[in-house]
């Protein structure tokens, strides 16, 4: 099936630093979703992107839908300790019964105070 490749797999940063992560695919997607998962909890939707080139912000988070439609980027500015967690990208895969999401393997973010 279609796979989403996230990088980096993990990041260790100091509080206040900016963070960038990305998600790539060999296939074209018409939607990109970014989720954050706190330890022991379910993922929470951060940003949804629906148009190539789209740049969307949610507070200190900014995500972009790549022009090629095969990638997406998530940036976090001025990181704080509560940014710790796993960040997943996801995109829809079309099937005969509808569409379902495929997820990347996540970027584990650690923020040192």
In the complex, the residues that contact other proteins under the rule CB under 8 A are 1, 31, 33, 35, 40-45, 48, 88, 90-92, 97-101, 103-106, 108
Shorter beta-carbon distance to other proteins: residue 1 or 59 = 1
For the chain, the helix, strand and coil percentages under 3-state DSSP, each to the nearest 5: 5, 60, 40
Bridge partner residues of 34 (DSSP): 47, 89
Q: What pairing do the DSSP bridges indicate for beta strands 19-25 and 55-58?
A: unpaired
Distance CA 65, CA 13 (A): 25
Shorter beta-carbon distance to other proteins: residue 7 or 77 = 7
Shorter beta-carbon distance to other proteins: residue 59 or 98 = 98
CB of 103 to other proteins, least distance (A): 4
CB of 90 to other proteins, least distance (A): 8
């Amino acid at each position: 099936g279609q796979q989403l490749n996230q990088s980096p797999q993990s990041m260790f940063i100091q509080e206040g630093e900016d963070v960038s992560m990305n998600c790539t695919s060999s296939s074209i997607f018409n939607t990109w979703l970014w989720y954050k998962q706190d330890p022991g909890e379910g993922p929470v939707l951060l940003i949804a992107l629906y148009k190539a080139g789209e740049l969307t912000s949610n507070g200190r988070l900014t995500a972009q839908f790549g022009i090629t439609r095969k990638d997406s980027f998530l940036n976090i500015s001025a990181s704080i300790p509560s940014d710790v967690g796993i960040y997943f990208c996801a995109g829809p895969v079309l099937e005969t019964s509808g569409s379902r999401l495929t997820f990347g393997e996540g970027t584990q973010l650690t923020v040192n105070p």
